[in-house]
């Protein structure tokens, strides 16, 4: 099972997006675990985890991308900043598709 982590300032604003992404995953027949956390918790998880496949960073904290890249540099974890329009519209289908495209 693939694991997708969304990262935002506090982990709260992405909760609705996670729900919409889960619906898109179910509609596509994909078995994935999708969850959202704040920036600090995300870094802690990445330092200790080996099972996260994709990290999607909220556009409001895109400035943390270089730090995240350093943490995952030696592992096959995919990283991307979420498209601002898709995040603002809470377009779970497009964000889910972006995550799946990273895994190809």
The two tokens of residue 90 are 């809470």
The two tokens of residue 51 are 């099972």
Nearest to 55 by CA among 44, 68, 74: 68
CA distance 29 to 78: 21
Classify residue 82 by its DSSP letter: P
Mutual orientation of helices 65-72 and 39-48 as an angle, nearest 10°? 10
Annotated catalytic residues are 8
């Amino acid at each position: 099972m693939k694991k997708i982590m969304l990262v935002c300032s506090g982990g709260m604003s992405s909760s609705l997006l996670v729900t919409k992404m889960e619906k898109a995953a179910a509609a596509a027949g994909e078995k994935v675990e999708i969850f959202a956390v704040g920036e600090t918790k995300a870094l802690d998880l990445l330092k200790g985890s080996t099972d996260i496949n994709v990290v999607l960073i909220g556009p409001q904290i895109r400035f943390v991308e270089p730090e995240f890249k350093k943490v995952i540099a030696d592992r096959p974890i995919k990283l991307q900043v979420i498209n601002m329009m898709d995040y603002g519209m809470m377009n779970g289908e497009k964000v889910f598709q972006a995550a799946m495209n990273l895994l190809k």
